[in-house]
Amino acid sequence: MTHRLRPFAALLLAIAVLASGCASLQPPRIQVQRLGRPQAGLSGATLDVTFNVRNPNPDPITIERVHYDLILNGVRVGDGFITQPVEVAGFGEARMSSRFDLNYLRVPGAVKSIVNRDRVDARTRGRFYMRRNGGRERRVNFSSDATLDFDRGPRP
């Protein structure tokens, strides 16, 4: 190799190393996994919504926060938040939970009929904010569908 090509080859090598280090980060998959037992009150009910998070990347990531809409049996019943950061190991899984308020006044009748069922079609859509190794925060949209039983607690 001539002396003139060596700097060019070194530059190409540096670009290749940087490009491999900046490989695209695959977004984690968030899926609603469980709906807790609804606790009825005067104006509505509360329930716990649990999500499963799967990290398809070799490096750990942190989900900083989540904002989502909850749709039960085709009816949008409100939006929820998760503000507690969750770290997900490389190629690992983690759980995230949210306390969700169902308002009877917002969707009259629909919420009561949903709460009285044992099984529900649940759809969530929203966005979460994630980081890898303390890097820049990234916003990712998500959507998931599941048919779930309400967790009614221990059965006799």
Q: What is the pTM of this model?
A: 0.77
If one compares 22 and 48, the residue with the highest pLDDT of the two is: 48
Residue 116 pLDDT > 50, yes or no? Answer: yes
- For the chain, give the percent of residues with pLDDT over 70: 79
Decide: helix, strand or coil at residue 90.
Answer: coil
DSSP conformation class of 27: P
The residues, ordered by sequence, that sit 6+ positions from 63 with a Cβ below 8 Å of its Cβ are: 28, 53, 82, 85, 86, 88, 94, 96, 128, 129, 130
Return the minimum-mean-pLDDT range out of 74-83, 107-116, 123-132: 107-116
- Predicted pLDDT at 117: 81
- Please name the fold of domain 26-149: Immunoglobulin-like (2.60.40)
Hey, where are the domains in the chain? 26-149
pLDDT of 3 reads 57
Choose among 97, 47, 100: nearest CA to 69. 100
pLDDT given for residue 17 in this prediction = 46
Average of per-residue pLDDT across 50-57: 96
Identify the residue with better confidence: 142 or 5: 142
Q: What is the DSSP letter of 134?
A: T
List pLDDT tens digits, range 57-68: 999 999 999 999
pLDDT band for position 46 (50/70/90)? Answer: confident
DSSP H or E stretch at residue 135 = none
Q: How confident is the model at residue 23 (pLDDT cuts 50, 70, 90)?
A: low
Q: 8-22, 42-56, 59-73: which range is least confident on average?
A: 8-22
